[in-house]
Chains A and B, each alone.
Chain A
Amino acid sequence: MAAVTVPVEGPDRDRPARLRRWVSVILLIGVAASVAISVVGTVLLAVDSGGSPSTDPIHLSLRSFGGDLLHGDPYAVLWLGLLILVVTPLARVIASVVSFAHVRDGPFVAMTLFVLAVLLATAVAGVVL
């Protein structure tokens, strides 16, 4: 059998130390902001609801979102925390595209862009339905 010598490098292939740091910081900021806002929203909900909050699914109304948020509406605050959480993994995919492009890793730029495109297609499909 022909010996296949594959260079075994650390996870630091192509200087991804910078990519790792970016991704790590983005994820941390995203979850920290989301959890802080969710805590505020949950406290507001417990105080406002008089012991009887709505446990049903709630539609996100973009039209009144800003105003509700300013008035301290618990559901608007909880929506904000949730939206930040949902956007966090997207932000790290975008950071990966930029980082792979920076080290000119063509196949990985293409793969990461594809992942991003499908995620956007998912959102479009959801709106259409």
Chain B
Amino acid sequence: MEFDVLGLAPTVSLLLVLLFLVLFSIVAGLVGGLLGLGGGIFIVPMLVLVFHVPAAVAIAASLVAVIATSSGAASTYVGEGLADIRVGMFLEVATVVGGLSGALVTVLFLVQQPRILIFAFVPVVLLSAALMFANRGRDVRPHPEPDRWADRLRLHGSYSDAQSGAVVPYQVTRTGTGLAFSGAAGVVSGLLGVGGGVFYVPALNAFMNVPFRVAAATSNFMIGVTAVAGAVVYLLAGQIALFWTAPIVIGMLVGSRSAARLHSTTSPAQLKVVFAFLLVFAALLMALRGLGWLP
């Protein structure tokens, strides 16, 4: 495909397109890495709205990008002990099953129906915006109801707060709700090319009583595996367009590594509010396109 940016020569236009993809992905990876959302939620609308990439191809690119964000940020979060490997592995059991189902449904039935994919995206984005906003001011309850599975599997933990230096313990609860949300996250991930972080962070923080910083880091750790389940299906179905994936992967990695270094200097409450508004904006753009009011 020959690009034409403002009437410039094709080679110059191509370089500008690549530059835009890398820069956009750095920002998406930074925000995604800070909030435990892979950033795929930005990549799909960008590819569809700016470059008119078919929805299935955009979703495949986004899943690959989510693996990059996850691995890039999780390397640091795991090393620091901020990502809870035990809780993450526990929830991944439900997630991988959901991810497999979601990707199969998409490849088998929905590739011919791009408009359905676009409409499915809108409620998910709005729901995640509402959860982010409603959840902005609270972190954990000191004495949650006891949970048998959390005790038996020793899921309770603690983390060292980067700002105060204090070791903060937390009691995990509602493991059943956590598993249900993770299964749903897997399905949505395979269907829509997002990492599922939109569900993991609220499930971990609001339901399972894991502190927001640990929830975001653990979500980052988990979404890589969720995205792999989906990405492999798209890869084998021949939906990977390398031209779009490569610069996005490069940008996402740079962004997510920066997020892992910056996370201790940010206020999650403010980020959550800003992010909720960004999500509503993305949902609006997707809806307008689905209705045919935007190209």
Interface residues of A (CB under 8 A from B): 4, 6-13, 16, 19-21, 23-25, 27-28, 30-31, 34-35, 38-39, 41-42, 45-46, 49-60, 75, 78-79, 81-82, 85-86, 88-90, 92-93, 96, 107-108, 111-112, 114-115, 118-119, 121-123, 125-127, 129
B242-259 interface bits toward A, Cβ cutoff 8 Å, 1 = contact, 0 = none: 111111011001100000
In the complex the two chains form, is A20's CB within 8 Å of B64's CB?
Answer: no
- Segment from B96-104, B119-127, B276-284, B286-294 that makes contact with A: B96-104
A30 to B100, CA, bound (A): 23
Contacts of A60 in B (CB 8 A): 235, 240
Whether A119 lies near B85 (C-beta < 8 A) is no
Stretch in B11-19, B130-138, B196-204 with 4+ CB within 8 Å of A? B11-19
**Interface class of chain A by DSSP:** helix
The interface residues of chain B, by DSSP majority, are classed as: helix
Q: Is B50 an interface residue (CB 8 A)?
A: no
A89 and B78 in contact (CB under 8 A), knowing A9-B158, A35-B253, A57-B239?
no
* Residue contact B225 to A93, C-beta cutoff 8 Å: yes
A27 touches B74 (CB 8 A): yes
CB-based nearest B residue for A121: B100
Please state if A88 and B67 are interface contacts (CB–CB under 8 Å). yes
Q: What are 16 A-B pairs with beta-carbon distances under 8 A? A: A4-B146, A9-B158, A20-B79, A27-B72, A34-B249, A46-B15, A51-B2, A55-B243, A56-B241, A60-B235, A75-B242, A81-B246, A89-B67, A89-B70, A115-B93, A126-B107
| Other 14 A-B pairs with CB < 8 A, given A49-B14, A108-B153 | A6-B146, A21-B79, A27-B78, A31-B68, A31-B253, A41-B242, A54-B1, A55-B244, A58-B241, A85-B249, A93-B225, A115-B93, A118-B96, A122-B229
Residues of chain B having any CB pair with chain A under 8 Å: 1-3, 9-11, 13-15, 18, 51, 53, 57, 60, 64, 67-68, 70-72, 74-76, 78-79, 81, 84-86, 89-90, 92-93, 96-97, 99-100, 103-104, 107-108, 146, 151-154, 156-160, 167, 169-171, 224-225, 227-229, 231-233, 235-247, 249-250, 253-254
Within the complex, which residue of A45, A51, A118, A125 is in contact with B243, where a contact is CB–CB below 8 Å?
A: A45
Across the interface, do A35 and B250 meet the contact criterion of CB distance under 8 Å?
yes
Beta-carbon nearest neighbor of A37 in chain B? B246
A residues near B60, Cβ cutoff 8 Å = 57
Bound: A123/B96 CA distance, A:
12
Question: Given A6-B156, A11-B157, A51-B13, do A85 and B171 touch, yes or no (CB 8 Å)?
Answer: no
Contact status A126-B96, CB under 8 Å:
no
**B85→A57 contact, CB < 8 A:** no
Q: With A23-B78, A89-B67, A118-B100 known to touch, is A125 a contact of B250 (CB < 8 Å)? A: no
Is A10's CB under 8 angstroms from B14's CB?
A: no
